[in-house]
Amino acid sequence: KTPAELKRTVVLVGMMGAGKTAVGKALAARLGVPFRDSDAEIEAAAAMTIAEIFERDGEAFFRARETEVIRRLISGPPCILSTGGGAFLQAQNREMISAKGVSVWLNADLALLWSRVKNKDTRPLLRTPDPYATLQEIYAARTPIYARADIEVASQPGYTIETMTSRVIDAL
Ligand code: S3P
């Protein structure tokens, strides 16, 4: 696919650690279209990290900014848009995404997600006494919602970013 063929923004959704940002960057490079990342946009506008925003202003504030960023980016020219793991859970975000973009769920199993997030301290939702149990709960609650995405691309432990990128391109 060439940029000319990419008529709709490709919106990557899925759990923390699924590879949305890494695959999104590679996908954008392969297709020659801009890469946008909702978390990065929110951080840049606030001049704070996601963790700081959660701490200072709370999750509801963050979610409102997330919806604004998605509304703005999905209305612009086609791009690859990587979203935070909670973005697709909100009905209004899903509606905007399905009206103007194509959603792609990067689906990775719990063990793989945990291996990627366990040593990072950047995710406020996992700052709990038992982050693994929290991840497990979030995963179970969200899976049926992510499954509403237009396309599912499953990740496996051996898959590289390039493998995932090719699989997304094949599925588009
Ligand atoms: C969140 C995921 C994070 C970030 C915030 C909340 C979530 O993004 O938006 O910490 O609700 O799953 P990543 O999926 O990029 O980690």
Residue 112 lies in a domain: yes
Owning domain of residue 133: 3-167
Condensed to tens digits (0 to 9), the pLDDT of residues 51-100 reads 999 999 999 999 999 999 999 999 999 999 999 999 999 999 999 999 99
State residue 32's pLDDT score.
Answer: 94
Q: What is the CATH number of the domain that holds 30?
A: 3.40.50.300
Predicted confidence (pLDDT) at residue 115 exceeds the cutoff of 70: yes
Residue 38 alpha carbon to ligand 1 centre in Å: 10
Cβ of residue 24 lying under 6 Å from some atom of ligand 1: no
Residue 172 lies in a domain: no
Q: What is the CA angle 69-75-79, rounded to 5? A: 85
Cβ of residue 31 lying under 6 Å from some atom of ligand 1: no
Condensed to tens digits (0 to 9), the pLDDT of residues 9-48 reads 999 999 999 999 999 999 999 999 999 999 999 999 999 9
Residue 87 lies in a domain: yes
Closest CA to 34 of 80, 69, 72, 74: 80
**Total domains present in the chain:** 1
Please state the atom number of ligand 1 nearest to the C-alpha of residue 18.
14
Order of strands, sheet of 151-154, starting from the edge strand that comes earlier in the sequence = 35-37, 80-82, 9-13, 101-107, 151-154
Cβ of residue 34 lying under 6 Å from some atom of ligand 1: no
pLDDT bracket for residue 135 (50, 70, 90)? very high
